[in-house]
Amino acid sequence: MAAPIISDDPIYRLLREGKIDEFNQRILAGEKVDLTGCDFRHLNLQGIMTKGLDFSDSYFRQADLRGVDFSDCDSLEGASIHAAKISGAYFPKEIRAEELVLSLEHGVRLRYHA
């Protein structure tokens, strides 16, 4: 597994700068962003719209994901949510609760089949 990357993509950079509303507007306007394998450590992602986004192999260690709805994202396969704040977060129904707990407590990469 490759180390998470800090991409030079300007839309990804909006997330790193905490500009969630601008990120959402640009995604809704049809702009594309590649978020696979990205580093989201310690970021506050509350309010991010995830529909159609691919977070495969991404790293969310200690990120604030409270209330984020990942149910319509393209994929969380291989992502890690180690020590993230996930209160009120909504994950794809294919991910079992035990899988989420293993990732949250031990950093295990999420495995599931959509």
How is the chain split into domains, by residue range?
1-108
pLDDT at 81 > cutoff 90: yes
pTM of the prediction?
Answer: 0.94
d(C-alpha 18, C-alpha 57), whole Å: 21
d(C-alpha 27, C-alpha 52), whole Å: 10
CB 84 within 8 A of CB 55: no
CB atoms within 10 A of CB 24: 15
- Which pLDDT score is estimated for 1? 62
Mean pLDDT of 54-79: 97
Mean pLDDT of 79-84: 98
- Which pLDDT score is estimated for 104? 98
- Which pLDDT score is estimated for 30? 97
* Greater pLDDT, 49 or 114: 49
Mean pLDDT of 77-105: 97
